[in-house]
Structures are given as C-alpha cells and as structure tokens.
Structure 1
Amino acid sequence: MPHLSRRTFLRAASATALGSVMFGVGACSTAPRRVSPSNAEDPLMIGYVPIACASPLLIAEAAGVFKRHGLSVALKKYAGWSDLWSAYSTGELNIAHMLSPMPVAIDSGVTNGQRPTELSFTQNTNGQAITLATEHHPRVQSATDMRGMVLGIPFEYSVHALLLRDYLVSGGVDPVADVELRLLRPADMVAQLEVGGIDGFIGPEPFNQRALQSGAGRIFLPTRQLWDKHPCCSVAMAKDWRSFHPDSADRLLSALHEAAGIVNDPARHEETAQLLSHEKYLNQPVALLAPALAGHYRNWDDEEVTDPEMMSFGDPTDPTAITWMAAQIARWDLSSGTSLPLDDAAIIAAATSVLPAGSPPTGRPVKINGEVFDPAHPTRTYTL
C-alpha cells in the first residue's frame, strides 16, 4: 500500500476541490446564534439534501409519523451539502440530515464552521455505489484500471470520498496524483457522466439507478462490497438545542426509528417510493426509487441482482465506523492537521464526542477494503 506524505497531499490538494470546499465553509463562518428555549408550538426546522439516504426523515413527515409522535416538523430542502453545512454552522438550522463524517468535522472544528454536534441517528447503511461511464465497461476490473480518471464525490466530509480514497490506495492508486476527485452535487453527477465531464462517481441513490436506466453508466461496485454495513447518512443535532429540548429530541428519534421500519418493509416499498417521488421530497420517478429500495440493479458482469441488504435504514450507530471516519479526516489532512491530528487519542476523542449519550465508547474491529481497522488503535494502518 503506497503512503503519501502529508506535505505531498497538501501541495496537491491546493489545486483540487478540497481547497474550494474549505474556502466555501470558511467564507460562511459567522458564529452560530446561541440556542434558547423556544415556543413548544414552533415547528422543528430540519434541513436535508434530496437523496434516498434521507428516506426515514422524509417518510416520517410524509406518512404522518412525526405528527403521531406529537411533533410539528418543517423540512427544508438544500441542493447540496455546502449550503446545508453553512445553514447549520451559522445557526439557521439546529437539526439536519448530514453525511456521517460531517458531525465529526463540525464538532471537532476541522473547518471554521465549528459547532458542538451530536450524531443522533444513523439514517442508512450501505446504499452507495461506484458507477462508471458505460464506455469503461468491461475494461475496468479493479482500482488499478481507474488511473487517470475524473471521479465525482458529493462532499469531502462524506463516507463516499473517504471510502473511495481508501479503495484506491488498497489497489495501489494514489488518490491525489493518479486521479481527480471532483466535488459534484448528487443531482449533477449523472448529467456530467452523460456529457463526458467525468468518468464515474461514487454516490447515493437514485442516481446510480438513473445512470443505469439512462445508459450513461454502469454500477461497478456497490460500496457494501468494500465495507458491509458502513453508515452513510445521519440526523445530527446541535448539542445546545438538544439540551434545551430533550423531550422533542426523544420524540424525534422515536419517530425516525418508526419511519425507518416503514422504509425497510419490502411490502411497503412501492408505497414508500410513491411518497418519496413527490416534488416536496426527492422529486424523482418511482421507476428509479422502487428498485433502489428493493436493491435491484444490473451489475458490472451484466447480471440482474436483487440484494435485500443493498440499503438498510435505522441501524444502530456504530462507534467503530465513526472512529474510522475521524481517522480518515486526520489521515487525509482534511483538518489541516491542527484540530484533528493523526493521533489515536485525538481521533478516539473526536469520535466519542459526537456519539449520543449511552452509546458504547468503542466498537469491534471491522474489515474495510480488505484491511482490518481496529478502533482501539485507529492510526495503526495509516502511516503517512
């Protein structure tokens, strides 16, 4: 496995999307408003990005689950993660759909948008894929064959970006020098694939399904084949908001768990897809959403596959996974090596800080891209 020096990565990163995202967050670094007790009748404003990973949150609203739990909720849609990050870090939002590495980054202060944050609920595990342009089929057979490609990622602080980097390194590919990782909103990934702007992307549903059905792309690898049961998206809360509203927070989490049960139910996939398809939510055709929920796709070997474990919702938050994400943020210097150094104690503390009260502080080792990651020694595999 090749090892990149910290200096090499930082020099290269200045010319990549990392620079732009750090600038974008820093430019919106107004100190967050202090949360105070609010009227119990005020709706809870929750921000989200329209991808299938957010299904429990969206179904909780669409199917009336929030109301059954005595909550008034207003959902606010954001086109991409940078906009949602800015809204949350400045206090416009106190609760948000986030990619699971985002609470770690925000809570640890790895950018100027620091805010004490709890990763309260894991919305989905698995459910992502590396999708490549059809022109690369069937030539590409491993990470080695991806040298020279331009690959889309949805956000630097995403399991997509972190897992893709680790996958490339495991195949002997330098994710800085050998490929270009380009930040794209999920909705723009397929469009860029269709016009040849990128060679592929690692992204959520229903955009892998859209690439398949349009003919622009083929699913190369579901990410569960890189790391089974990896978390992707979460619902995060500002710690100060939660301290002022413990009852509302508990009701919200109970509603999300109930909604996750609805989304997981195969007998309700068609109904769920119909609800999610509405413009207010995902604004995507049922013909894309239903197979995504069912785990149906055509694989790289031209086989029709139905995998019930392709995407799961509402699984318990895994402390090992959160520790791995913190380790990757440090490994790739996404904190500039200041607030989150490549140090076991610092990484474990950063992961533990975002876990809900009562969560186990550590988890069991797990195999990711063929390597065993031990959360008790998170830097052991990553010598930069």
Structure 2
Amino acid sequence: MVEPLNMTRRQLLSAALAIGGTFTAGAALTACSSAASQPHSPAPGSSAPVTIGFVPIACASPLLAAHARGAFEAHGLNVQLKKFAGWADLWTAYATGALDVAHMLSPMPIAADAGATTAARPTELAFTQNTNGQALTLAAAHHPRVQHAGDLKDMVLGIPFEYSVHALLLRDYLAAHGVDPVADLELRLLRPADMIAQLSVGTIDGFIGPEPFNQRALATKSGRIFVPTKEMWDGHPCCSVAVAKDTDPRVRDALVAALHDGAAFVDNPAHTAEAAPMLAQEKYLNQKAELIAPALAGSYLSWAGEEIVDPDMINFGDPTSATAITWMAAQIARWDLGIDFDDRTIIDAAASVLPREADTAMTPVEINGRLFNPNTPTEGYPRSNA
C-alpha cells in the first residue's frame, strides 16, 4: 500500500509538472485507457502518418534533420511533426495516447515506463539524440562575483522539467558542492523559451538548459555560461526519442534507422553551415541560424571570458548507455520522484526502457567528481529528505 505522504507528493508532482501545460486530473485518470484504445502507428509503406511530438531545442536536431532531409520517407514512413512549447504539454499528449512517438528528455521514458507519475505508459527509450550540449547559465549581473557552486545559494534557477537530466544533474552538482538543492535555493519549472525572458527581467538568476538558449543569453548579453554540463558529466545523454512499447516493431525500426541518418548529418562539423539554416526554419526551431551554428560547433564564451570552441560540446547519435540510464533512474529515486530507492528496483527500471541497440556495459563513470557504479546505484547517494 502506498503511504499517504508519498501519494500526496506524487499528486503534487503531477500538478507541478503541469506548469505551462494542460495536465489535468481527467487526463491523468484516462492516460492508460486512452493510450490502450488508440490505433497503433501504421506500418512502413503506409500512407497514414506517424505523428512525432517534439520541443524546439537543438537536442532534437537528429529528428528534425531526418524530417527535413527525407530520411523517414526513405525508410517507408510518412512522418508528421507536432511542435510543443514545453514538456508538460508533450507529456500529456503522450500519456493520453495522442502520440505513440515523442522527443523526450531521457529521464522521461524511465518515469513513464516505471509509473513514477500518473502519466504512466510502457515506453522504450528507442534512440538517444544527443550527449552533452547543455549549460548552467547565470545572469550577467552575477559576473564575476559568483565563482563557486556555493555562491548559488539563495538563487532562483530555471529547470525545463523535473524528469530532465538538467534537473537531476543540477541537483547532484549542487549537493556534491555542499548546497542543498531543496533548502538552499529555488528550482523553478520553465519552458525553455521562457528562460531568456525571465533572465532578462531578473525574475530568475539563471537556468540550466539547452541550446540555442544559452547562445541567446550570450547574444543578448543577459547571461553568461557558468558551467557547461559537460564539465559535470562528460558524455551525458540529454534527449531521446521514446516509443510506446505496443508500437509496430517495423515502425520502431524504421524510425530508429532514419534517426541514425539524421544524427550522422548534424554530427558532422562539415555540415554545420547547411544544418543551421535548415534547423532554423519556423516549423523546426524557429531561431536565428546565427544562434544555432555556434551551438552545433561548440563555440561559446566561458565564465572566465575565454572564447571556447569545443567540437564535443554537443554530439548526436551516440548509443544509449545502460550506465547513464541507471544513473538517471537512481536520481529519480534519490529525489523522491516516484521510483523506490532500492538498487534492484532502480536497475530494473533502467533496463526496462533500454533498446536492443543499447550499450549494456555497466561501466562506472565519474559524475560531479564522484564515481557512480551502476551495479550499486544507491551507494554514495544519500536519499533526499524532500
């Protein structure tokens, strides 16, 4: 039996996730039955469309490139993209069965598949779109006074979603530097597009988020990159394409093949000049190509004032890592977001969403200065009292 306190937390979490979205109690109650009653995606070669939801951020470049360059058609699919302003709306559409395939932050399939919230649905993390490519950006007014993680106390920092590598990695980063992410500052849920506006008017002190919004902060001089997430965890996954487990396997395989094609294109530095204006189109990112190009190239101004060009600042199409997904499941458990804080439960929750193409080597990895062992995922991570 679920304890009343835990039930309340999960209800509150579902409400919090609806900020900027339309996740209602009715949608929560009908999520599983609606998903089950919807027709499955059509088989390859059919003229019926497969609708894929996405949020317009640079992490979705493989999906958008596959669409723009005809990769889906080449693999026998008629794909239509549906743009969502933020993760709450997309989350609702997927949970209620309006979508069978969606661009998701990588922790989202874990949460959906494990039933961590009312938006439960058996889900596979079919494809990892990108690794690295995010940053903790602070308001320019904090430069150069803020120099250490401890200086972030009492700030308000934007996060895109509770079930995001951004939120999980930021909490771990803060805790590793002696800052309580619950008691010492506020983490505020914001759509990516709203982060710059709120940073500019001073209602937040910073945000951890995707491109091209870090580039927009630099271009408008409203903010500066404090720490790229690559420095917290080099090679961390961020976004994925998730597929409902009852989707036709032929559709799933064709989708993954097309996504590999899209990732290969945008991951090649020689294609940046072509990729940036393609992704900039209104139907895709609806951002200036001049912001997208440096994001793809890994070009940015560091907090110390150095012009950095790092070709590994963002990568596309790396294999889905069992170690990485296990860490995310462990952090969902650690911060009381709906998975039990138990090694076996965490490992099983991660394994359940892995695609057959995943890198299943459970190899320890350094994250925020601490070695994470995916075989004992709770070791060294005290559970939050939040």
Give the TM bin, normalised by the shorter chain: over 0.9
Correspondence for 1:44: 50
Q: Which runs of 5+ in 1 are unaligned?
A: 1-8
* Whole-angstrom CA distance in 2 between matches of 1:18 and 1:298: 37
Which deviates the most, 218-227 or 25-34?
Answer: 25-34
Any conservation in 2 of the 1:25–1:113 contact (CA below 8 Å)?
no
Q: In the alignment, which residue of structure 1 is the partner of 2:355?
A: 356
Q: SS of the counterpart of 1:291?
A: helix
Give me the whole-angstrom Cα distance separating, in 2, the residues matched to 1:361 and 1:121.
14
Is 1:211 matched with 2:217? yes
Matched, 1:311 2:314: yes
Corresponding residue for residue 4 of structure 1: none
* 1:288-367 alignment, distance < 5 Å: 288-335=291-338, 340-357=339-356, 359-367=358-366
Please name the residue that 2:380 is paired with: 381
Deviation at 1:95, TM superposition (A): 0.2
Partner of 1:21: 17
* Deviation readout 1:140-188 (Å, 9 max, x if unpaired): 1111000000000000000000000000011110101100000000000
Counterpart selection for 1:265 from 264, 268, 275: 268
| Secondary structure of the structure 2 residue equivalent to 1:240 | coil
Aligned equivalent of 1:53: 59
| Most deviating of 25-34 and 77-86 | 25-34
Give deviations 1:174-214, integer Å, cap 9, x for gaps.
Answer: 10110000000000001000000100000000000000000
Determine which of 210, 228, 232 is the counterpart of 1:226: 232
* Alpha-carbon shift at residue 25 of structure 1 (Å): 4.6
Match of 2:286 among 283, 286, 293: 283
Give the unaligned 5+ runs of structure 2: none
Residue 356 of structure 1: how far off its partner (Å):
1.1
Cα shift readout 1:119-145 (whole Å, capped 9, x = no counterpart): 000000000000000011011111100
Q: Which of 128, 136, 144 lines up with 1:122 in the alignment? A: 128
TM, length-normalised to structure 2 = 0.92
Preserved contact between residue 120 and residue 236 of structure 1 (Cα < 8 Å): yes
Q: Among 170, 180, 186, which residue is 2:186 paired with?
A: 180
**How many aligned residue pairs are there?**
369
> How far does residue 68 in structure 1 lie from its aligned partner after superposition?
1.8
Aligned residue for 1:370? 369
Residue 100 of structure 1 corresponds to: 106
Q: What does the per-residue CA deviation read over 1:202-231, in whole Å, with 9 as the maximum and x for residues that have no partner?
A: 000000000000000000011000000000
| 1:70 match | 76
Which among 189, 192, 197 is matched to residue 191 of structure 1? 197
TM-score by length of 1: 0.92
**Structure 1: distance between partners of 2:241 and 2:140:** 34
Question: 161, 169, 191: which is aligned to 1:155?
Answer: 161
Contact 1:270 1:290 in 2 (8 A): yes
Q: Distance in 2 between matches of 1:204 and 1:17?
A: 23
Question: What is the rounded CA distance, in whole Å, between the counterparts of 2:18 and 2:85 in structure 1?
Answer: 18
* Alpha carbons 1:17, 1:181 under 8 Å: kept: no
Identity of aligned residues (%): 61
SS at match of 1:148: coil
Q: 1:277 to 1:22 in 2, by over 3 A?
A: closer
Is the counterpart of residue 85 in structure 1 residue 91 in structure 2? yes
